[in-house]
Amino acid sequence: MLMHTNVSPVQLQLTLYARRKKHLRAFMVALLLAVILLLVGLQAGSFKQSIGILFEALSHKLNQRALSQEQYLQWYVFSELRAPRIFMAMFVGALLAMSGCAMQGLVRNPLADPGLIGISGGAAAAAATALALINHYPQLAVGGQYLIALSAFVGALLAVWVVLIVARTPAGMAISSLILAGVAVNALAGTHIGAISYMANDDALRQITYWTMGSLGGVTWSKVLFVGALSLPIIGLFMHLRQPLNLFALGENEAQCMGLEVSKYKRLILWLVAFSVALATALCGIIGFVGLVVPHIARTLFSADHKYLMPACGALGAILMLGADAASRALFPPLEIPIGIVTSAVGAPFFLYLLAKQKAGGVNA
């Protein structure tokens, strides 16, 4: 024995239990906040929803009585326009934030973003191509929406695939070459979009620009169900990655020595991130900074331990997107600002603040 430091196992156990309880409480507060934002989100926008009339409409529907015109209108806006949007916002927010959390954990850098490995660049380039094609060949416009979503999805995965191929070495995937390859692929995608924009007519140009700003407009229940059905297993997988990410935080060698199959998990994390961001981007366009900022906020509010961080990111991502969606409708009614602008307007300054803080302190949250 070296020194008497009085660590009591009971005390440590109690501390750990207390921490778990504290995080659980914070999580509950987050959920409460989500509910409040949900109600605010309902109200936001050019059309005012009345909770009272909605309840009346609901009870009439349940009792199979006819709705008045006012009730019908309220119900229609709620069930066909606002509600699917709100669900979509939550799913997309959770996916993007959890992807950001996994990405930062994997590369061990709190300034990493899923876009780093070329996902959004690839998606944007492919979507821009599809938009220009649709504009040029009107006969494609029938399934246009789906064509755009599909090509964005495929483009995103293609970009990631190229990045992973380039970064592959005999000893496994090298994180530094991963990021450099991502930079190159993003630049290539930017050039491609530039070329298409240069050749496109005004109409296509506006659509491309609008797409790259992200939007939750035009969300239908079928899209929500589609995303929801895919999101649940993805979120489950992200939750499964919590302890592996904790080990990654100690470094790859350390993780390997502690029994983690590092290269297998690295691939799993990268493809999972790619798949979920591609999914979100394909349906809603580019929504920046959620994946970067939310893990930071969650780390400050909760803990760096991914056991708590991962679910916290899911909840906060959903909340942030709900808020951003409400803001995008409420700021300049009847105009609706693209949601990507809202998230970037909040996220980019926050990112600068983080950079400045990191430079000043050398330690980041």
Q: Which stretch binds other proteins (CB under 8 A): 86-94, 187-195, 226-234, 296-304?
A: 296-304
Residue 231 CB, nearest distance to other proteins (Å)?
26
Tell which residue, 16, 12, 10, has the closest CA to residue 308. 16
**Distances 357 to 106, 162, 309, 360 between C-alpha atoms, Å:** 22, 34, 21, 5
Residue 348 contacts residue 290 (beta carbons within 8 Å): no
Q: How many CB atoms lie within 10 A of CB 339?
A: 27
Of positions 7, 62, 165, 229, contacts other proteins by CB under 8 A? 7
Smaller CB separation from other proteins, 153 or 351: 351
Q: What is the DSSP string of 206-222?
A: HHHHHHHT---TT--HH
| Site membership for other proteins, residue 250 (CB under 8 A) | yes
Structure tokens belonging to residue 136: 């040029």
Q: How many CB atoms lie within 10 A of CB 110?
A: 17
Residue 266 contacts residue 173 (beta carbons within 8 Å): yes
Of positions 63, 64, 169, 253, contacts other proteins by CB under 8 A? 253
Expressed in angstroms, the distance from the first to the final Cα of the chain is 35
Q: Residue 233, preceding bond cis, omega within 30 degrees?
A: no
| Site membership for other proteins, residue 169 (CB under 8 A) | no
Q: Which stretch binds other proteins (CB under 8 A): 25-33, 136-144, 190-198, 255-263?
A: 255-263
| Site membership for other proteins, residue 217 (CB under 8 A) | no
Smaller CB separation from other proteins, 97 or 326: 97
Of positions 15, 46, 59, 191, contacts other proteins by CB under 8 A? 15
Query: How many residues lie near other proteins (CB under 8 A)?
Result: 41
**Distances 3 to 7, 8, 10, 12 between C-alpha atoms, Å:** 11, 14, 19, 18
| Site membership for other proteins, residue 171 (CB under 8 A) | yes
Residue 16 CB, nearest distance to other proteins (Å)?
6
| Site membership for other proteins, residue 225 (CB under 8 A) | no
Of positions 138, 236, 259, 334, contacts other proteins by CB under 8 A? 259
| Site membership for other proteins, residue 80 (CB under 8 A) | no
Q: Where do contacts with other proteins occur on this chain (CB under 8 A)? A: 1-10, 12-13, 15-17, 105, 108-110, 170-171, 243, 246-247, 249-251, 253-254, 256-261, 299, 303-305, 363, 365
